[in-house]
């Protein structure tokens, strides 16, 4: 069993920055594919970024160049968000799948095994 817990969400003005964090149990971060997703009420969950065990990262086109996924230990993953826009407003979730990112359809939320409860990010314009 793996638990994940997001934190760091909040309200920020457009153009601002925010970093959300994901703490996990065990050493899932070091061994498996970790992803950040976001969801707006009434819409499907959207893949934002993933980080591979070797540190390789992939971003959605919507956030490429503005967001950075990283990890600093075997148990924590971060999503640094810069130049925030109103359309970035969403509930942000981290997730883990017990595979390498390169071996799965990492933008598909259905492949992920465990999820956090989410942290709300609100960007005001």
Can you tell me the mean pLDDT for 29-56? 93
Closest CA to 36 of 24, 18, 51, 19: 51
Quote the CA–CA distance of 73 and 120 in Å, as a whole number. Answer: 24
pLDDT over threshold 80, residue 73 = no
Res. 28 pLDDT band, cuts 50 70 90:
confident
Q: Which residue has the higher pLDDT, 72 or 68?
A: 68
Could you tell me the two tokens for 61?
């086109």
Q: What is the DSSP string of 59-114?
A: E-TTTTTTEEEEESSSSEEEEEE-S--GGG-EEEEEEEESS-GGGS-TT-GGG--E
Average pLDDT over residues 40-67: 95
pLDDT range class, residue 119, cuts 50, 70, 90 = very high
């Amino acid at each position: 069993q793996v638990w994940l817990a997001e934190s760091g969400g909040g309200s920020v003005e457009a153009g601002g920055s925010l970093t959300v964090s994901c703490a996990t149990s065990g050493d899932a971060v070091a061994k498996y594919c970790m992803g950040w997703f976001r969801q707006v009420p009434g819409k499907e969950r959207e893949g934002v970024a993933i980080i591979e065990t070797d540190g390789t990262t992939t971003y959605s086109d919507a956030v490429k160049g503005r967001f950075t996924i990283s990890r600093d230990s075997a148990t924590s993953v971060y999503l640094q968000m810069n130049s925030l826009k109103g359309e970035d407003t969403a509930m942000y979730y981290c997730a883990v799948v017990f595979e390498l990112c390169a071996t799965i359809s990492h933008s598909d939320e259905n492949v992920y095994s465990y999820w956090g409860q989410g942290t709300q990010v609100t960007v005001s314009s």
